Structure 1
Amino acid sequence: MEEIVLQNKPKLIKWLSLDHIIVLQHVQAKKLITMSQYRDLKEMKAKDRVIQLLDIILERGENACRDFLYLLKEDDVNEISPELSDWIKTVDTEDQKTEKDKGRECLNRPIQETTNMTEQSGIQVTCKNSASGGGSIIAPVITGGNLSSFEMNTTVAPSGRQVVQTNYQKSDRDCEHRPIQDYQRFLKENTSKLIQKVKNFDPIIDDLDLHDELVANVRAKPTDQEKMRKLLTCVNCESIAKDLFNALCEHEKRLMNELLKRY
């Protein structure tokens, strides 16, 4: 979507400049720009206003460009130019959504409409084994889904008997590999502890792909506890809950390992 906007930027400038005021109102109504950006754009000349608007949309990335193209599909917007109306009908925005995009959409759905997803986790172990003098090696079987660091050294004794030395080291990030069936439920059951004990809030929210307005509302809270409480009330989608779970594992390893031991 970003590429489509960029490639057609000269045409969009021409079309949208025909009624830049109504375009700006629709963009603001869809919350594609902040109030500060809206005020700055109002002070500009018509053509400069459209150019700056498109630059803002492009800077915000793929999701903002897709939302902008959705907006252009609305009759109230594209009727300002017959050429724009004809062109936007040829733009396919439906089949280009990524899983992350779908996850972000869940933030706008009522909680009862969301569904739980079952995640599968696994581990890959690479072993390099060899034997000399006619010896043979039978590959061992490894079971368990909570391994995160695994080393296996295999040697062959003079008798031809296989000797396997296994070295397992537990990583601080084991929580990322812990199979969780319901991330929303995990966060809900641990809400109190997360609010009380999460200290590295800023890098956690930086890892989440959330709308700018939501991020601003959360960051506006005066303490990390209130920020975490506000964030948890906004997570009503399983995919966003999973992203938050992984961000917590990254930045609050000890806390998450403690919570997972009891879960």
Structure 2
Amino acid sequence: MEILNSCRSDLCEWLSADPSFIIEKAEDILTVKDNKEIAHLSCNKEKMTRLLDIIIRKGENQCRDFLTLLSDVQDHYPQLKKLFSTNREGSISQSVHADGGSNVVAPIITSCKVTDMSVNIQSSTSSRLNNRQPTPSAVGAKYSSKSKPGICSTIVACNGSNAVAPLIQGSDISGLNIHINQSPAAAQPDSSKNVKEATASVKDKMEFLKTSLDKLVQKVTNVDPIIDQVSVSGFPAEAVANIRAQTTSQKKMRQILDYTRSTKAAEVVFSALLDHEPDVMEDIMKTY
């Protein structure tokens, strides 16, 4: 999912050269409804944007299947070789911070020679999140190289379990080290009660979002998970595509708020903000 999000613009451009081919190849991933949703669009690039939105909405497993498909069709789309480069050298470092949920570290390593692969996980339980429902998150990466001196994944996780599941195929791994250190975090003030009380006091979520628009645009930086959440909670696919197309977190956040035009949509956005930017929301609600 992370790869599709980070390479979205390039993938849309590369695949738009022949959208029918990749749609046909993805028949095992797409439903009849998905195909109709894509087919009514006239612009090839819009079709590919919608295709990626649909794949991402389906979750991590379908994203992995689609990445495998992209790897198989590199001859048809030569530019995909930039995504699955076979001649890059150097170190690859992956750093992820996840709050309030489980973590999956699952690098897919194919046809590589890796002299040292290290996965280090430092996990702690944050008292601030103890009363919140865990939200699963996943981190995946696909590396394909003739030679890489090192691949390192570093995960910082709160209030969740950890799963390390590297998939290694046709590779020469001379060193694989996995270290997991799980320990309780230092005591922190429990602000969950304050957030809940402040949430209960916000009766009109739409009015809150309108009044706090400037602060939200400036302070919210973790926008992509918010987009993911609203995309599966009723936001139109075209709106989600337009939001993702924005180049900065501020522009994306402003677009989210622009598309929040109903009470239901306001509830969805408000909930997503609490899930992914609780500190920002707490600060804003203190003065609301």
TM-score, normalized by the shorter chain, greater than 0.5: no
**What's the TM-score once normalised by structure 2's chain length?**
0.35
Q: Which has the higher strand share?
A: 2
**What's the TM-score once normalised by structure 1's chain length?**
0.38
Q: Which has the higher helix share?
A: 1
